[in-house]
Amino acid sequence: MAKEAIKYYGVDPWKITETGFNPERSRVSESIFSLGNEYMGTRGFFDEVYSGDSLKGNYFNGVWEDKPITYFEHFKGLSERCCFMINANNWIYTRIFANGEELDLAKCEVENFYRELDMKKGIVTRTFDWNGISFAFERFISMTERTVAAQKITVKSNGFEGEIKIVAGSDFTPIHEEENRNFWVEIHNSDACIVARTQSSGQRVYSAFRANLEAEKFFAEEKKSCAEYSINLKNGESAAFERLSVNITEKDKTVSDDTFIANCNKKANELFTVSYDEYLAKHESFWADVWNKLDITIDGDEENQQGVRFCIFNLHQTYHGEDGSLNVGAKGLTGEKYSGWTFWDSETYCLPFYMFNNPQAAKNLIMYRYNTLQQALDRAVEQDTKGACFPMVTIDGTESCGVWQHGNLEIHVTAAIAYAVWHYVTNLKDKDFLYDYGARLLVETSRYFASRGGFSPKNGDFGLYGVMGPDEFHMMVNNNTYTNYMVKKMFLYTIDVIEEMKKACPEKLPEVTDEELADFKLKADKMRISYDEETKLFEQHDGYFDLPHIDVNSISPDRVPIYKYWAYDSIFRVNMLKQPDVVLMLFFFSKDFTLEQKKANYDYYEARCFHESSLSPSIHSIMATEIGKDEQAYEYAKYASRIDLDDYNRNTHQGLHITSAAAAWMNIVYGFGGMRSDDDILTFNPTLPKQWKGYQFKILYREKILTVDIRNGKATFTLDGEAEPIRICGKEYMVGKDGVAVEI
């Protein structure tokens, strides 16, 4: 790939470290040092004022504003409104003065600057010396009490004598940078407590704080609630300022302001009875449990070790399934790019991570789609189709994509919902979920595709016309093979589920007729899958093989990113790919295809892929491992695990690539570990990169921890419970507590 790493942060297996502050990297570091807990997130900006370049971003999952989408000319079926996650209150708002001089790292000379994210504990710390004072900052967002965030500032005099004044508060004035405006209206402001409402959507946020020091005074400014504290230091003395912040959201407009505030005051007062140290201990215990149970360890490669742990850390920060009304945004809670939207990545890339780390979270990812089914049904009507058409990008279940060729043509998103039901049930055997919720999703998505497609008058094939597949460098194409194959598989799975339910639980059957099922079967059997038996190649879409060729390796770095430097329509006139399409199909349904087919298609399409998507490298690494391209697999894996730490795409400043973090986890487990989860039992074909001495990963498999350890030419599998059948290197074993060792 013609992309280079920027090596800036220190390499450590458990920490991300920054020694010396570089203002040119400030926004990148704000993304890297972000903290969150699914409910809320805060970028790694400084506590105190910083007048340099910064995005002081604080976000609540599912708290959004909306705006109309305007077009030069509006056509039926185009999305009319856009929801976007907004920058909320700065709960860590702080101003620091030493003998009247304000601390601002854009203006003040500081020494010994050091910042650290401790992934083992989920804490960000920062230290430096200024004006004869040593400062130590610590912050965390509680993983056990989702409304609580905490800040600690320790000061020690190294020659300084005098007053240190700290102004702390909660601030609703930050600008939402993507829209260049503020979206909050203050509705309550009292001592260390402020409540604000979004201007349009009417969602509310309550924010209150308490400190360990006694406030000299409380004061209010517009959209700010503050308190002032004073510390008098003599040489050699030290003191600590600790603050707990409680932030509570309310999205139900029927709840009155008075009721909301009263309930929040009661809740906050209860939460403030717990100390900073107690919250910290519980928070650290949460992370200790995560790492003890489901860590990935790599022996002999600290860069990849650090990278994959950074990915795992941010996946747990972004989502752990506490709330079924929330989902995984492409940037999580680390920035405004992609507006907090959920894409199809949740069901295809993120779901496997949660299936094998946190099954309840996996279930809730799909329940999010079930809970927004009505919006998908309404969207299908707008598209002149039946069933459920799920949105390309969304927060509230409606389509927020104002780029019609993505919002209207990427119908593979709806197929991903059905795929997620199949993938989840296949591995977790959750028949209650299938019968109560999944079957309805399957029927409605099948109904949509049955009405969205059509038959060719030339040969009678059924296909899907006027679409865009995962490779977004080709639009308005006919019969994208990935999409067609996904739909074919889901038609057949829907039929199987309904037939199963007729016997097992007829009372729970969703409304579907035998005539519809027969129609699904006919269209599955007639589905066009363009394949050349001689070359073993699947054509990505009708006419793809006729497109002019471009050597992706010849593209100059000053012509990337593609969307910025290429005329838009020129992207669609050549055979360059943005990300895997056919190759993705071969991975998702691995057992359906031969190794020969995988080799032929990987070689053909990899040479045409530019990896403009962060999701691309990991899938190529996984498939390269399977077909024996070890060096290529390793290079792609390194890119995938460190895409943000090394800023490969030069866009980490916008926020972290959360869904590609899930792909990086897959890179270890599905790639080098050789796991496949598209059959009734798990399959493994592990390999050991020559750059590593060994590695180990753990997954949660049917409520038991499966440990896979690869080193010294052997792969050892151990299950901490009743034995389960697992296929390893082509042979089926019963794996239990005694373990199974297989030569590789």
Distance CA(185)–CA(180), nearest Å, equals: 16
- The gap between the terminal CA atoms of the chain, to the nearest Å, is 30
Preceding peptide of 561 cis, ω within 30°: yes
* Residue 7, helix vs strand vs coil: coil
* Residue 702, helix vs strand vs coil: coil
Within 8 A by CB and 6+ apart from 230, the residues are 163, 164, 165, 166, 216
Distance CA(226)–CA(211), nearest Å, equals: 12
Concerning whether 242 is annotated as a catalytic residue, the answer is: no
List strands edge to edge, sheet with 704-711.
296-299, 694-701, 704-711, 714-719, 740-743
Nearest to 289 by CA among 150, 148, 143: 143
Cα separations in angstroms, 150 against 31, 274, 587, 708? 19, 12, 43, 37
Confirm if 141 and 47 have CB atoms less than 8 A apart: no
Residues 657, 54, 86, 37, Cα dihedral to 10°: 50
Confirm if 343 and 395 have CB atoms less than 8 A apart: no
Both tokens of residue 252?
């139900």
Beta bridge partners of 64: 85
**What's phi and psi for 250, nearest 5 deg?**
-140, 120
Distance CA(60)–CA(38), nearest Å, equals: 8
Range 127-149 burial, b when 16+ CB lie within 10 A, else e:
bbebbbbbbbbbbbbbbebbbbb
Q: Which of 18, 65, 472, 606 is catalytic?
A: 472
Nearest to 633 by CA among 605, 600, 668, 586: 668
Within 8 A by CB and 6+ apart from 403, the residues are none
Q: Which residues are catalytically annotated?
A: 472
